[in-house]
Amino acid sequence: MFIKTDYLVIGSGIAGLSFALKAAESGKVMLITKSNEDESNTKYAQGGIAAVWHSADSFEKHIADTLNAGAGLCNEKIVRQVVSEGTKRVEELIDLGTQFDRNANGQYDLAKEGGHSEHRILHHKDVTGLEIERALLKKIHSHGNITVLDHYFAIDIITQHHLGKRVTSSTPDITCYGAYVLNTKNGHVDTVLSKITVMATGGIGQVYSTTTNPVIATGDGIAMVYRAKGKVKDMEFVQFHPTSLYNPGERPSFLITEAMRGFGAILKTADNREFMHKYDARGSLAPRDIVSRAIDHEMKTRGDDFVYLDCRHLDRKGLIDHFPNIYTKCMGLGIDPFLNMIPIVPAQHYLCGGIAVDEFAQSSILNLYAVGECACTGLHGANRLASNSLLEAVVYAHRAFENARLKLPEISLQGGIPEWNAEGTEHAEEMVLITQSRKEVQQIMSNYVGIVRSSLRLKRAFDRLEILYKENEALYEKTTITQALSELRNLICIGYLIIKQAMERKESVGLHYLIEFKKKETV
Nearer to ligand FAD, 39 or 131 (CB): 39
For 17, residues 6+ apart whose C-beta sits below 8 A from its C-beta are 31, 133, 136, 137, 140
For position 47 contacting ligand SIN by CB under 6 A, the verdict is yes
Q: Please tell me the total number of residues recorded for the chain in this structure.
A: 523
Closest CA to 12 of 180, 150, 207, 205: 150
How many chain residues bind ligand SIN (CB under 6 A)? 9
Neighbour-count burial for 188-201, b at 16+ CB within 10 Å, e otherwise: ebbbbbbbbbbbbb
Nearer to ligand FAD, 236 or 487 (CB): 487
How many chain residues bind ligand FAD (CB under 6 A)? 42
Nearer to ligand SIN, 178 or 354 (CB): 354
For position 289 contacting ligand SIN by CB under 6 A, the verdict is no
In angstroms, the CA 21 to CA 27 distance is: 11
Q: Which of 288, 293, 464, 489 is catalytic?
A: 288
| 333 class by beta-carbon count within 10 Å (0-12 exposed, 13-18 middle, 19+ buried) | middle
Contacts for 162-168: CB closer than 8 Å, 24+ residues apart:
162/417, 162/418, 163/414, 163/416, 163/417, 167/228, 167/229, 168/229
Whether residue 288 lies in the annotated active site: yes
Among 189, 259, 286, 481, binds ligand SIN (CB under 6 A): 259
- Cα three-residue angle 33-90-314, rounded to 5 degrees: 100
* Residues 349-368 contacting ligand SIN, CB under 6 A: 350
Tell me which stretch binds ligand SIN (CB under 6 A): 154-162, 381-389, 439-447, 450-458: 381-389
Query: Checking DSSP bridges between strand 238-245 and strand 354-356, what pairing results, if any?
Result: unpaired
For position 252 contacting ligand SIN by CB under 6 A, the verdict is no
Please report the sign of the dihedral spanned by the C-alpha atoms of residue 170, residue 162, residue 203, residue 439. negative
Nearer to ligand SIN, 189 or 295 (CB): 295
CB of 10 to ligand FAD, least distance (A): 5
Nearer to ligand FAD, 295 or 461 (CB): 295
Residues 9-48, mask of contacts with ligand FAD (x by CB under 6 A): -xxxxxxx---------------xxxx---xxxx-xxxxx
In angstroms, the CA 376 to CA 354 distance is: 5
Instruction: Write out the residues near ligand SIN by the rule CB under 6 A.
Output: 46-47, 257-259, 350, 386-387, 389
Instruction: Write out the residues near ligand FAD by the rule CB under 6 A.
Output: 10-16, 32-35, 39-42, 44-49, 128-129, 153-154, 200-203, 212-213, 216, 220, 255, 350, 372-373, 387-390, 393
List, by residue number, the catalytic residues.
288
